[in-house]
């Protein structure tokens, strides 16, 4: 690129870059020169070994949107979920068939000023991005030189027809959960909280169908590194995984892990999750989430609401595959008692509840049993008790195998979501064999 980037970043820097040993590298159809003192962390990330500095490349994708719109989309999906800094108005520079949208903003973080620089290249029906987070005048000088070194290899970018889907649009219908606002940008969908709170701890998104590796687990893991290139998995971090069949019969794989990235004064942490499910012949859909690593997890009620509402347009439906998993015994055991469902042939069910209440040295035991008929419509479980006066229950049910980095073993789980309860929550029952 030209010195156009220097004209934008230059006023923020008061030191002149003294270039040491540098080396060239490539990312897709971009060629660039890495400054001395920056090391490669992955295929998409570099980190400054001394001081605060991180470079992340954003993989290309098909688009018909303007450079300004793509810049705004990248800022909202790559910056705003974790750094509260407004998107600047980008400046544009044409370079042959491509237009670069460039924007820089700063934020005070503890005792340091953090600079966020984003460059979005749009041309030949594709968009690709470079995100840099840095702190310190000397580091900013290195960043400016790095951005000025970026060059586009003529004719090497894939045409729009090679993008993740035929029209670059999300191919999934869904319901927006309460407290969230939907945004559609360049084919992607963002679900942002109306106001950040404990009830809305995550930002969610859906991507257009993309080529699948033929393995949903690989697709989910790859989506995390591809969608969040500026983050890296924390050393010795934990993970959780889930695989199953949705109520409409399509398979899915969910993967979650803790990530971190360099920030002023140290590191900032987050939790990311990705759910991969079929998007048509040879393609996969991705539902992702990112947020506070203590609260943005699988049991977030908003994830469950989104998941149960997903209606992919591509994969064939086989609802019978889901219904076949329900018959059997499912039990929840707690220190205060036990709850158990038994789903029988002939669409009959039995529900048993037993509790123990302790008062000093005395204890009181309570138990009840009810039965009736069960039915399924997608993931909606309908329970009709035999006893008169008891109303019909309509619940959301999931059946899946889950594991984690501690046990490493898969276990079968049935979760029930009751939206009619005073406080919506997920209750998990374990499969009882024999």
CB 335 within 8 A of CB 358: no
Q: What rounded mean pLDDT belongs to the chain?
A: 82
Q: Mind listing the pLDDT tens digit of every residue in the chain (434 residues)?
A: 544 444 444 433 332 233 334 446 888 888 898 888 888 877 778 888 877 788 888 888 777 778 888 898 888 878 877 677 888 989 988 877 889 999 998 887 767 788 889 999 998 888 899 999 888 777 878 888 888 899 887 554 444 333 334 457 888 888 999 999 998 877 789 999 988 788 899 999 999 999 999 999 999 999 988 888 888 887 777 889 999 999 989 999 999 998 888 777 777 888 999 999 998 788 999 999 999 877 887 778 999 999 999 988 765 567 688 999 999 999 998 767 889 999 998 999 999 988 655 555 555 565 688 899 999 988 999 999 998 778 899 999 999 999 987 888 999 999 999 988 777 888 999 999 86
Length of the chain: 434
3-state secondary structure the chain: CCCHHHHHHHHHCCCCCCCCCCEEEEECCEEEEECCCEEECCCCEEEECCCEEEEEEEEEEECCCCHHHHHHHHHHHHCCCCCCCCCCCCEEEEECCEEEEEEEEEEEECCEEEEEEEEEEEECCEEEEEEEEEECHHHHHHHHHHHHHCEECCCCCCCHHHCCCCCCCCCEECCCCCCEEEEEECCEEEEEECCCECCECEEEEECCCEECCCCHHHHHHHHHHHHCCCCEECCCCCEEEEEEECCCCCEEEEEEEEEEEEECCEEEEEEEEEEEEECCCCEEEEEEEEECCCCCCCCCHHHHHHHHHCEECCCCCCHHHHHCCCCEEEEEEECCEEEEEEEEHHHEEEEEEEEEEEECCEEEEEEEEEEEEEEEECCEEEEEECCCCCCCEEEEEEEEEEEECCCCCCEEEEEEECCCCCCCCEEEEEEECC
pLDDT digits (tens, 9 = 90+) for 332-390: 987 678 899 999 989 999 999 886 555 555 555 656 888 999 999 889 999 999 987 78
pLDDT digits (tens, 9 = 90+) for 279-318: 878 899 999 999 987 788 777 899 999 999 998 876 556 7
3-state secondary structure 203-248: EEEECCCEECCCCHHHHHHHHHHHHCCCCEECCCCCEEEEEEECCC
User: What pLDDT shows up at residue 302?
Assistant: 93
User: What pLDDT shows up at residue 385?
Assistant: 94
User: What pLDDT shows up at residue 17?
Assistant: 31
Residue 59: both structure tokens together: 């993989």
User: What pLDDT shows up at residue 356?
Assistant: 58
Q: Which domains does the chain have, with CATH numbers?
A: 4-160 (3.40.1000.10), 164-315 (3.40.1000.10), 325-432 (2.40.128)
pTM of this structure: 0.62
Instruction: Give percent of the chain with pLDDT exceeding 70.
Output: 84
User: What pLDDT shows up at residue 362?
Assistant: 57
Gap between the Cα atoms of 241 and 271, Å rounded: 13
Burial of 285 (0-12, 13-18, 19+ CB in 10 A): buried
How far, CA to CA in Å, does 113 sit from each of 110, 293, 349? 8, 24, 62
User: What pLDDT shows up at residue 13?
Assistant: 36
User: What pLDDT shows up at residue 288?
Assistant: 96
Q: Please name the residue that has the structure tokens 């219904």.
A: 323
Closest CA to 331 of 323, 320, 343: 343
């Amino acid at each position: 690129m030209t010195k156009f980037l220097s004209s934008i970043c230059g006023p923020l820097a008061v030191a002149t870059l003294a270039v040491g040993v540098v080396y060239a590298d490539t990312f897709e159809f971009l060629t660039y020169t890495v400054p001395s003192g920056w090391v490669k962390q992955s295929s998409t990330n570099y980190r400054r070994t001394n001081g605060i500095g991180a470079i992340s490349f954003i993989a290309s994708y098909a688009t018909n949107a303007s450079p300004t719109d793509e810049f705004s989309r990248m800022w909202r999906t790559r910056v705003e979920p974790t750094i509260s800094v407004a998107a600047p108005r980008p400046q544009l520079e044409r370079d042959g068939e491509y237009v670069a949208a460039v924007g820089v903003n700063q934020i005070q973080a503890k005792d340091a000023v953090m600079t966020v620089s984003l460059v979005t290249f749009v041309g030949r029906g594709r968009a690709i991005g470079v995100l840099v987070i840095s702190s310190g005048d000397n580091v900013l000088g290195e960043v400016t030189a790095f951005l000025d070194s970026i060059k586009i290899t003529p004719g090497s970018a894939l045409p729009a027809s090679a993008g993740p889907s035929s029209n670059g649009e999300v191919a999934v219908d869904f319901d927006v959960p309460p407290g969230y606002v939907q945004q559609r940008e360049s084919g992607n969908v963002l679900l942002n909280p109306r106001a950040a709170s404990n009830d809305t701890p995550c930002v969610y998104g859906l991507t257009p169908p993309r080529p699948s590796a033929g393995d949903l687990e690989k697709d989910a893991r790859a989506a995390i590194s591809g969608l969040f290139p500026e983050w890296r998995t924390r050393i010795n971090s934990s993970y959780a995984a889930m695989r199953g069949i949705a109520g409409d019969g399509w398979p899915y794989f969910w993967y979650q892990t803790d990530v971190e990235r360099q920030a002023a004064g140290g590191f900032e942490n987050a939790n990311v999750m990705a759910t991969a499910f079929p998007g048509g012949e040879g393609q996969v859909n991705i539902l992702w989430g990112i947020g506070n690593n203590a609260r943005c997890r699988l049991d977030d009620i908003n994830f469950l609401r989104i998941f149960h509402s997903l209606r992919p347009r591509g994969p064939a439906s086989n609802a019978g595959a889901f219904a076949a998993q329900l018959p059997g015994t499912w039990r929840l055991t707690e220190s205060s008692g036990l709850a158990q469902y038994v789903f029988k042939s002939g669409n009959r069910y039995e529900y048993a509840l037993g509790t123990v209440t302790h008062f000093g040295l005395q204890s009181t035991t309570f138990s009840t049993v009810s039965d009736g008929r069960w039915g399924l419509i997608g993931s909606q479980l309908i329970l009709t008790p035999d006893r008169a006066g008891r109303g019909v229950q309509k619940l959301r049910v999931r059946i899946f195998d889950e594991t984690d980095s501690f046990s490493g073993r898969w276990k079968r789980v049935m979760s029930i979501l009751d939206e009619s309860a005073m406080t919506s929550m997920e209750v998990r029952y374990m499969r009882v064999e024999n």
